[in-house]
A and B are shown apart, each in its own frame.
Chain A
Amino acid sequence: MAGGSVSECKEYLFKVLVIGELGVGKTSIIKRYVHQLFSQHYRATIGVDFALKVLNWDSKTLVRLQLWDIAGQERFGNMTRVYYKEAVGAFVVFDVTRGATFEAVSKWKHDLDSKVKLANGNPIPAVLLANKCDQKKETSNNATLMNNFCKEAGFLGWFETSAKDNINVDEAARFLVENILANDKGLPYEESNGDRIKLDQETVTAESKSGCC
């Protein structure tokens, strides 16, 4: 892979976590972003680990974004390490119509930072999503407050989103991916982990090469 000729397209795989309290719209945001769907009916997330969104970032870059929903462990915040492992970005979501879900944002961010770090030891880039903005009552702009909060809590930025009306979901994702790409310039992953084995993609070469006597 090193260098790669100019004509070649670079392909990235990024694992992004979507966390926040129950019912804030995590699953809805993922569905909106990946499948262009929205459903009013509440349905727990069953059987789906993550959704994949393929982005033609630019003429030379393809980004495969894995958005990881938090499944049945969300309620008590006891995610396994498997969930956090090798994530390179995160959305923390709250519901603008329920203050308590905003209160919980710091807790989620703190939990995130204690469980996963970038290879260089820095926290992974995180973006705050103020979801269900279609239902926001007062129009008073508390942008300054939110900016300050983001600075303090270590968020790259925040977006008012609506999974229902498709507001700012793409924008927020684009913003996060830009930051991930900036972090990922060195791209050490494939190089240092090239000899890792995934059990569903067997190395046929090894099979024919050695084999028992």
Chain B
Amino acid sequence: MRNAPTETGPFWPRDLDWHPKALTPGYKTSVLRSPQKALLSLPNTLGEINGPLFGHNMIGEFDNDLLINFARPGETAIGERIIVHGYILDEHAKPVSNTLLEVWQPNAGGRYRHVKDGYAAAIDPNFGGFGRTLTDDDGYFAFRTIKPGPYPWPNNQNDWRPSHIHFSVFGPGFAQRLISQLYFEGDPHIALCPIVNTIKDPQAIDQLTAKLDMDNTIPMDARAYRFDIVLRGRRSTLFENRMEGN
């Protein structure tokens, strides 16, 4: 009943009230880094509808296992062992298959392996803090890691980030490109965090909160957290842009 494959249609516009605004003074760095003029709305052209192509051959066997992908042979990262898993779907709940998900995070003490991070918490020699995976045909992904620690950051005088994992997702169209952060159910820092609170709708914040998943927890080994990601969906092209006489 459709006159074009769904992979080639334009996307629904972004709900910019669901996302954080550019200017969010509670998060001070946004003040000088937020465009002040209105965004110019464009119809999707081929460039936005298409996106880069990545193959399974780029993914290494342990890329999604942060417990061991940086560790010395026979050793593992220090911290609470967890599995984070879920589905990447579009707004129509259609699986987004074979798409690249990249993650990065600090270690169990809240310290990043980064030249610019000088926090007092110790570096874990067995933890790099990053991984990647491609979703399968059902849009499913999973990675194994340690639960990241909260850390202080310069904003107000005593701001602490909730435990979080940064993530980056592609989707088949460049207009779907998304970077965000995953939080953990029950963390009291979520409500206190100026970066979380750049998002106004509590349901949107809940959408970034991974839920403890006892059904998929591996007894005596690792707890599971469930986290689904939704990317923009494509509009129906049924009656749109059809030339007269076609």
Q: Does A pair with B?
A: no
Query: Residues on B close to A: CB < 8 A?
Result: none
